[in-house]
Amino acid sequence: MSSDTSKSPIRNSRAVVRLPIIIGITLAAGVLLGSTFFSGGKKLSDVAKGYAKYREVLMLVENNYVDSVNTDDLVDFSITKMLEKLDPHTAYFNSEEATAARSQLESGFDGIGVEFNIFNDTVYVVTPLSGGPSETAGIQSGDRIISVNKENLSGPGVTNAQVYKVLRGKRGTKVDLGIERVGMPDKINVAVVRDRIPTYSVDASYMINNETGYLKVSRFSETTYDEFKTALKALKSEGLKNLILDLRGNPGGYMEKATSMADEFISGDKLLVYTEGKDSRFDRKTRSHVEGLFEQGPLIVLVDEGSASASEILAGALQDHDRALVVGRRSYGKGLVQMPIKLSDGSELRLTISRYYTPSGRSIQKPYELGKGEDYSQDLSHRYESGELFNADSIKFDKSKVYKTDGGRIVYGGGGITPDIFVPKDTLLNSKYLFELYSKNIIREYALKYANEHQKQLEKGSFDNYVNNFQVTDAMLSELGRDATRAGIKLNEKELNHSRPVIAAQTKAIIGRYVWGRKQKSGLNNEVFRVLNPTDNVYQQAVQMFGQAAQLEKGKFSSMNIPRN
């Protein structure tokens, strides 16, 4: 190093200057949240040594590196890479990412409506938000978004901020996505029209018949518990005696909203969930304590591979106390607790501090290795390839993690909530032609066009009459096919006929929603679910299981004939 360089005055960038502030604010947050944040770990002096080394390197790069560098970017990158050595859910968000992430649960926004995670430099869809434009366009859990408007969205350096920037935008604008999907050899191109993403989390609440209700919860946000109570009270006023609670595709959210919901179903003073960590200050037990709205009556809970975190806490509590019959497929398996720590510049560290456990002692978290997120992120693909989504016998249990419910039924720990009644994923009516219709929004656009042209005629009747009597005709499907041809989709009569039930149901649901549902402001999408649920194999099985759910509630397990693995 030349003498001129060594004598140059030290010029600290904003990133270098803010490092002590970041450390300080982190320590302060630790003090507020439980005496000393680092208690139980290395001494603060050891942490300070590491910080001093890092600051020294950063200053040397800033002042002496041959080219100009953005040290703010270096700081963000190094923090992100450091956290990759930990569990898959500890994460760092810069200020833009933190604001966008909080808006998922706290306020509305304009975008395409997906929950996503970035693993191994690839954007994975956790779940499309119910009623949002991505769901309408056919985006599915496990899809990989590899390009946006023909620009790559995968590869080294992809960040949450980058994803938010390209996926969010003014409502009504279109975004073209390049999708890779398990089971399909070729990339799928999907056009999604951005819209206002609703803050509602109760998607549907209606009576199936005089005694049976259906309630769909898509996430656990700030308003979920209040929405849930309002919906449940309305169902009870209509004669509710049996309930289906649908948590499929629900990625979680605020734990206390899930436990408050559990408390509405579970009587007395019972454990709902507990957490344990390295520091006992983060250990917590949550118990039932209120007189709930539906503590008696057969209850069925639907879960699948998209049900995660708070959804699993709720389903696990109900299953362990033999309060609900759980139907569907094994849930996601996220049982790590993150504490959000806001840093001085608006960025946020979400640090894993403990694990969730169900009342019986089961860990919800599926296995992972520190610093090895690739296999973890590929879990849904592995489930597909192993056959687990289609056959209960393919579910692998850790026989060393056997637990029992209150009534003595065997349940397994070590990864998600396994249903009492397994129902396979239904892909029989899928086809490439169907995915192409989804990819260019043909079904939605045709349905909206039809609804506009026939709205006055349709509104003369009731929605009940529409559900029971309206048929999507051959002429309508032929017109839809012509729209698809004009959009560049080559007609495939064989695949059209094969997927006809799905196309017809989707078309009918969207027409019904547009004509009858868009005027109400409760956030409910009852019109869609009332049309589509009867074609849903998990729902179809669930409505037939209330006899067993009633036996479960009475503690008559021997007569239930519930298959266990």
Q: Which residues are catalytic?
A: 309, 320, 334
- DSSP letter string, 451-474: HHHHHHHHHTS-HHHHHHH----H
Q: How many CA atoms lie within 13 A of 127 on its CB side?
A: 19
Residue 327 β-bridge partners: 302, 421
Give the 3-state secondary structure of residue 403: strand
Query: What's the first-to-final CA gap in the chain, in angstroms?
Result: 68
What is the distance, to the nearest Å, from the Cα of residue 373 to the centroid of all Cα atoms in its chain? Answer: 18
CA separation, residue 396 to residues 301, 387, 389, 392 (Å): 22, 11, 12, 9
Backbone angles phi, psi at 278, to 5 degrees: -65, -40
Neighbouring residues of 306: CB distance < 8 A, sequence distance ≥ 6: 126, 127, 141, 248, 249, 250, 251, 332
Residue 175 β-bridge partners: 192
**Look-up: residue for tokens 């909206």?**
448
Helix (H) or strand (E) holding 341: strand 336-342
Helices 474-486 and 432-439 pack at an angle, to 10 degrees, of 70
d(Cα 167, Cα 112) in Å, to the nearest integer?
6
Residue 159 β-bridge partners: none
d(Cα 46, Cα 207) in Å, to the nearest integer?
61
DSSP 369: B
d(Cα 178, Cα 505) in Å, to the nearest integer?
26
Q: How many CA atoms lie within 13 A of 445 on its CB side?
A: 18
CA separation, residue 242 to residues 14, 34, 209, 245, 288 (Å): 60, 43, 10, 10, 21
**Look-up: residue for tokens 């030349």?**
2
